[in-house]
Amino acid sequence: MQQITLRRPDDWHLHLRDGAMLNAVAPETARHFGRAIIMPNLIPPVVTRDDAAAYKGRIMAALPEGSDFQPLMTLYLTEDTDPADVKRAKEEGLISAVKLYPAGATTNSASGVTNFDKVRPVLETMAEIGLPLCVHGEVVDADIDIFDREAVFIDRILDPLRTSVPELRVIMEHITTKQGVDYARSGGDNLGATITTHHLVINRNAILVGGIKPHYYCLPVAKREEHRLALRAAATSGDPSFFLGTDSAPHIDPLKESACGCAGCFTATNTMSILAEVFEQEGALDKLEGFASLHGPAFYGLEPNEAEMVLTKGEPVTYPDKIATPDGDVTVFDPMMPLHWRVG
Ligand code: DOR
Ligand code: ZN
């Protein structure tokens, strides 16, 4: 029997939603993870300090009894965000980051940023107080091919933004390309990047070959195989610039299996088993702890979790195909390979 022990992992990019969905999915993450950066793209979004305080209360109420899971809250950056409100929320210890969505880039991003000059005062305040910016790095221009959105964002938006506010700490969220890997790797101490579980497993064939597979559709959309291989190399390299952000994003099945299906893969349930399989395939099980448990806290200026997680290799792991919610089922991400590492 093979076992590995790591510090309890954290998820540096998570969608918990609200209401009945929140109650159904929060335990899936709290079972394995110590902390998670909670995405603010609710309807309406979590924009102010008061919104974040109220949402945090709802998350705490949704956790199983006795859970010590800690939600790390974020604010959704809009062109009207007040720097003083952001500063207050950070000083209270309520928020850990601010999230930048280019308007229209993804699920519930309509209130995001179009004119980057308008958010400069907030970004400057964040640089001063050491509050990181989580960036959804895709342009939304109609003339840019969806598979090129990330690479073009780096050149047109991210690099100029970082040059104009160099002290700002930035996390490139859910990178999906070789260009994203290269840029994050060469970006110095103020730049990090999260990588999802599913982008280490699928390329764009998973969505399109043999019929449309809506449960593999997410944003940024999975790219060619060469990009998946670059992500695997980055995640398993031991480079502290790269850490886990699952982007686990539940939608009920009718909203995925539709003529206009929602973007998102729900991986909270089986992420750690999938990651152990991937890291083993890459001959890098010794790098899993860095990626899932150490690099993220270091970037955010936090200590790693005290508690440990044991992963044991054995017979293929079973996990539910779907998580039931009162609004409908949520399909759990199918990695299309047997998983041999169980938590515990
Ligand atoms: O696939 C995604 N789903 N990507 C995002 O950026 C948003 C997320 C969601 O909220 O559903
Ligand atoms: Zn996300």
Q: What is the pLDDT of residues 145-175, one digit of tens each?
A: 999 999 999 999 999 999 999 999 999 999 9
Atom in ligand 1 nearest the alpha carbon of residue 265:
1
Q: Which of 216, 130, 222 is nearest to 174 (CA)?
A: 222
Residue whose CA is at the smallest distance from ligand 1 atom 7: 107
DSSP annotation of 73: E
Which one from 10, 11, 51, 247 is the annotated catalytic residue?
247
DSSP-assigned states of every residue in 309-344: EEEEE-SPP---SEEEETTEEEEPP--SS---EEE-
Residue 110 has a pLDDT of 84
Residue 108 has a pLDDT of 81
Residue 318 has a pLDDT of 97
In this prediction, the residues of the chain whose per-residue pLDDT falls under 50 are: none
Top mutation candidate among 11, 22, 107 for ligand 1, by most atoms within 8 Å of CB: 107
Top mutation candidate among 74, 218, 258, 266 for ligand 1, by most atoms within 8 Å of CB: 218
First-to-last alpha carbon distance for the chain, in angstroms, is 13
Top mutation candidate among 42, 262, 267 for ligand 1, by most atoms within 8 Å of CB: 262
Residue whose CA is at the smallest distance from ligand 1 atom 5: 219
SS3 of 179-195: the string is HHHHHHHCCCCCEEEEE
Residue 262 has a pLDDT of 98
Q: Which ligand is nearest to the CA of 251?
A: 1
Atom in ligand 1 nearest the alpha carbon of residue 41:
10
Residue whose CA is at the smallest distance from ligand 1 atom 10: 107
DSSP annotation of 9: P
Task: Output the CA 39–ligand 2 centroid distance in Å.
Answer: 7
Counting beta carbons within 10 angstroms of the beta carbon of residue 332, is it exposed (0 to 12), middle (13 to 18) or buried (19 or more)?
buried
Atom in ligand 1 nearest the alpha carbon of residue 251:
11
Task: Output the CA 60–ligand 1 centroid distance in Å.
Answer: 22
Atom in ligand 1 nearest the alpha carbon of residue 101:
6
DSSP annotation of 113: B
Residue 314 has a pLDDT of 97
Structure tokens at 287: 């790098």
What residue ranges line ligand 1, CB within 6 angstroms? 15, 41, 106-107, 136, 218-219, 247, 249, 262-264
Burial readout 140-158 (b: 16 or more C-beta within 10 A, e: otherwise): beeeeeebebbbbbbeebb
Q: 155: Cβ–Cβ under 8 A, 6 or more apart, which residues? A: none
Burial readout 17-33 (b: 16 or more C-beta within 10 A, e: otherwise): beeebbbbbbbbbbebb
pLDDT, tens digit, 9 for 90 and up, residues 186-234: 999 999 999 999 999 999 999 999 999 999 999 999 999 999 999 999 9
Counting beta carbons within 10 angstroms of the beta carbon of residue 233, is it exposed (0 to 12), middle (13 to 18) or buried (19 or more)?
middle
**pTM for this model (two decimals):** 0.98
Task: Output the CA 3–ligand 2 centroid distance in Å.
Answer: 31
CA-to-CA distance for 17 and 36, rounded, in angstroms?
13
CATH architecture, domain 3-343: Alpha-Beta Barrel (3.20)
Task: Output the CA 107–ligand 2 centroid distance in Å.
Answer: 8
CA distance readout (Å), 218 to 107, 133, 206, 215, 250:
10, 21, 11, 8, 11
Atom in ligand 1 nearest the alpha carbon of residue 39:
10
Domain positions in the chain are 3-343
Residue whose CA is at the smallest distance from ligand 1 atom 4: 219
Query: Is 10 considered catalytic here?
Result: no
Strand-strand pairing, 341-343 and 308-313: antiparallel
Residue 260 has a pLDDT of 97
Q: Which ligand is nearest to the CA of 137?
A: 1
